[in-house]
Amino acid sequence: MPRWKALPEELDPQVKEFASQLRRLVDRSGLSIAAVSDRTGFSKTSWERYLNGRLLAPKRAIVALAEVTGTNPGHLTTMWELAERAWSRAEMRHDMTMEAIRISQARAALGEFGADAPGGPGGMAGSSRTAAPPSGPGGEAYGSAGPAQGGGRRAIPQQRGGGHAAAPGSADRGRGRGGRSRVPLFIAGVVGALLVVAAAVLLTDLGGGGEEKKGGTVAEAPSATPSTSAPELPAGVKCTGADCTGQDPESMGCGGQLATTSARATVGTAVVEVRYSETCAAAWARITKAAAGDKVSISAGEAAENGLVNADGDAYTPMVAVASKADAEACATLTSGTKGCTTEQ
């Protein structure tokens, strides 16, 4: 039995319980992690992460493990669904924490920027904030219309009146000093507002359902040209047909739930199988209960691939492209000299 590492303390209790259950299934089966990897079609590294709580196993991997260990897949997927919800909640909490940190940093940065301008960030926040009158005429030239016309919340005489009671040339003097700091900020605000309006108009046009009347005619939105280059593959599948020849079925996503055993033969004490994936239009050979040094091969027409058994007693070959599962033949050659193929059974 493998000696498991302690699960991370920060794991959600439901995720921890699920990882512990997976460990018990692997222990009960007597399989090594390498053997579990080979029989389920998921890499050894991935299973180490699943079993050590560093990553939540996908549903396909769980179904494949249930098949390998003779476990009811319905019970195991029920526990997986509970763990998946707990894992999602933990990820959401992490995302919200990171978002809060980013917002806090952005506010701090904007606060430091606003402190350099006359009147500070109070002028940027809106007229609802009551602040002490600016000490220089630059502040009087900016926003004078608001307090003077709104009932005089800020009692600034003469020059706060929008220019009506100001001495001749006072507005020019305001623009000549502090006004220079206010004008770029004001222009930047106007430009920003215009960009927002333009974006809203563009989004409205783009989301208009593909109808735009021009000259009394309704023009349909251009439709996407259908692609005929290759069929769309399921998530995780990286090849199909000839592109799979010579590729590892595990890394290409062709194993696990997408693969079936189309033929099987017993050679000596070993079991050799043809593993076939209709999605990938490819097949490969797998040997189990073998000894180190035993060989396994897969052939389909002129294409052939080979595999060598290591200390785990299991091995599989790279893939060959096939038109149907009946086209592939798996053979084993044992170190004892015994040979056999699936077509001989």
Q: Say if strands 303-308 and 217-220 run parallel, antiparallel, or are unpaired.
A: unpaired
Give the CATH number of the domain where residue 29 resides. 1.10.260.40
Beta bridge partners of 288: 271
Q: pTM score > 0.75 for this model?
A: no
The answer on pLDDT for 239 being more than 90 is yes
Q: Over the stretch 163-182, which tens digit does the pLDDT of each residue have?
A: 444 444 444 444 444 445 55
Task: Provide the H-helix boundaries in 177-221.
Answer: 179-206
Q: Over the stretch 58-104, which tens digit does the pLDDT of each residue have?
A: 999 999 999 989 888 888 889 899 888 888 887 677 667 777 777 77
The answer on pLDDT for 299 being more than 90 is yes
Q: Which residues contact 148 (CB under 8 A, 6 or more apart)?
A: 156, 160, 161, 162
| 306 within domain boundaries | yes
| 46 within domain boundaries | yes
| 72 within domain boundaries | yes
Element (H, E) at 305: strand 303-308
The answer on pLDDT for 2 being more than 50 is no
Regarding predicted confidence, which is higher, 4 or 223? 4
Domain final residue, candidates 116, 136, 167? 116
Residue 250 CA: distances (Å) to CA of 244, 258, 291, 303, 304: 11, 11, 22, 19, 18
Domain final residue, candidates 71, 88, 116? 116
Nearest C-alpha neighbor of 259 from the set 56, 46, 67, 44: 67
| Per-chain mean pLDDT for the chain | 74
Other C-beta atoms closer than 10 Å to the C-beta of 270 total 24
| 134 within domain boundaries | no
Q: For position 215, what pLDDT does the model report? A: 43
Domain final residue, candidates 85, 116, 147? 116
| 182 within domain boundaries | no
Mean pLDDT of 300-328: 88
| 133 within domain boundaries | no
Range of the domain at 31: 1-116
Q: Over the stretch 240-289, which tens digit does the pLDDT of each residue have?
A: 999 999 999 888 889 877 888 999 999 988 989 999 999 999 999 999 88
Q: For position 154, what pLDDT does the model report? A: 41
* Number of domains, the chain: 2
| 264 within domain boundaries | yes
- Would the CA dihedral through 150, 156, 161, 164 be positive or negative? positive
| 180 within domain boundaries | no
Please state, in angstroms and rounded to a whole number, the distance separating the CA atoms of residues 125 and 133.
16
What does the CA dihedral 199, 200, 201, 205 come to, rounded to 10 degrees?
Answer: 100
Q: Over the stretch 126-137, which tens digit does the pLDDT of each residue have?
A: 444 444 444 444
